Structure 1
């Protein structure tokens, strides 16, 4: 791991800020921020609103590499600018925070207890653009609802196949086979998922990857994966838990760091003064950081 950026991701203390809400999840993120649908009238206006929110977060004095290793961006955000620089360049050059790009196009309908990713027809072109924008890594999400062996096998195979393709372009891919926190057989899903991950890890050569996983039902459940030399880092998603719940669970999973989205921005409001906004963001960041360094 000679690359400065890989060393930062693998070894430094901190967590990943997930700021990658896409077209489907942006309206909810804006509503929680205090911007309802009556305040924009097209997708372009909606994306302008969410970029303004993300810019306010990323330019905040609370948002620094003292606590944050990387930020996950939506494709639309990658192509926009912050203070005269493309977002990824702003993050790395001004904050020394690694830029990561969400590359999936959403989920297919549920089949065999899981939701695979939709096809990504423009992936090669997207990766070329990401390279030009100085992106460090990628992220892609699929979801497991039930402990169906065939479904979970297909989820993991799809994640690894795309991960290998992405790694061949020099990126560090984050594989995110999320387990639904409301699944009736969540622990069984996690057991089957880990078994399939271990099988697929044996198919890797020199690729380096990361995982973004649901906070498990059993504390330290994924700890044995941390020693695999292919794995740069394992991060946890908040998955619908509140920040307080997610932090408490994360602190029980040693060696795993956060990659929170809603839990990170919880409580932020467009109407807050900059001082109040920065203070709440800082408190959120510090609490997630402390849970991540256990």
Structure 2
């Protein structure tokens, strides 16, 4: 797989990144929205088989191609499985033209001062080696901000950058995701603190290194424009964070240069009971809507 071609697509592609990385905690909810309740599987193994089938159905849909879906974030178990007889990362790049990323975090610590740091990522070096072997271009890791506490937010950003540097050293592109909870009263203040902390850490990043950022859609349009324009930021992508697809697309269109990386908003309206014709038509319309919002700015 050509990482230079993948890097060019991530830098210049006119589309968005699909988030297909629901983990153990979020999988039951994702399946429920897809029309499969907890009575539809007897154990975790069956649950993961069902979520992989959903992801494979999305990845093989006619409209799921790199001209609009420029990248996709995979769960580790998804990377280790196959689609149409090919390893997933290889399939989505070689057959669909979609750049593969891998979720590498292992969940969140308990809330402290309004933030949740990432738990230790045990075995990260081994995971990164497997990711490189599988043809993965980059990684993603998530932490959460639920209050505008400057020192706590800076701790979140410091952790993201520290691990991001390990990922860069392994030859992969890190997507840093310090998510701000959309329902908090001081969201705007937290966004100012987050932007300024990221800028401070970017100033300390070696000039030959780049990162990507995945950020909650902001209250103020173009809140993160200075980060989008930063020469060491390959791309800034937006998470939907609980907004409906309509809300998320409307907010995204107000932010020049920011593109989507939606999970729930991408799968909204899809159902296990749909015929292939209806499924493909639904996801094609969704992909068109999200692409339009990503390109609107």
Say whether the fold is shared (TM-score over 0.5).
yes
Pair 1:126 & 2:133 matched: no
Distance 2:120 2:109 in 1: 9
Match in the other structure for 1:176: 177
Match in the other structure for 1:271: 273
Q: Which moved more, 1:210-219 or 1:58-67?
A: 58-67
Q: Which moved more, 1:266-275 or 1:33-42?
A: 33-42
Which structure 1 segments of 5+ residues have no match? Answer: none
- Within a 5 Å distance, the mapping from 1:17-56 to structure 2 comes to 17-56=18-57
TM norm structure 2: 0.97
Pair 1:287 & 2:289 matched: yes
1:242 pairs, out of 241, 244, 247, with: 244
Distance 1:244 1:180 in 2: 18
Distance 2:130 2:226 in 1: 35
Report how far residue 149 of structure 1 moved. Answer: 1.3
Match in the other structure for 2:166: 165
2:225 pairs, out of 223, 226, 229, with: 223
Match in the other structure for 1:91: 92
Distance 2:21 2:260 in 1: 15
Match in the other structure for 2:65: 64
Distance 1:201 1:29 in 2: 34
Whether contact under 8 Å (2:269, 2:282) holds in the other structure is yes
Q: Secondary structure at the match of 2:171?
A: coil
Distance 1:168 1:209 in 2: 12
Distance 2:162 2:39 in 1: 41
Report how far residue 176 of structure 1 moved. Answer: 0.2
Distance 2:276 2:97 in 1: 23
Distance 1:121 1:272 in 2: 39
Report how far residue 227 of structure 1 moved. Answer: 2.1
Report how far residue 123 of structure 1 moved. Answer: 0.5
Q: Secondary structure at the match of 1:293?
A: helix
Distance 1:110 1:6 in 2: 35
Report how far residue 190 of structure 1 moved. Answer: 0.3
Question: RMSD of aligned C-alpha atoms?
Answer: 0.8
Report how far residue 39 of structure 1 moved. Answer: 1.4
Query: Deviations for 1:156-210, whole angstroms, at most 9, x for unmatched residues?
Result: 0000000000011111100000010001100000000011001100111121110
Query: Deviations for 1:66-110, whole angstroms, at most 9, x for unmatched residues?
Result: 211000000000000001110000001101100000000011110
Query: Deviations for 1:104-143, whole angstroms, at most 9, x for unmatched residues?
Result: 0011110011010111011011001101100000000000
4+ residue stretches of structure 1 with deviation over 4 A?
A: none
Q: Which moved more, 1:155-164 or 1:40-49?
A: 40-49
Match in the other structure for 2:215: 213
Distance 2:295 2:12 in 1: 11
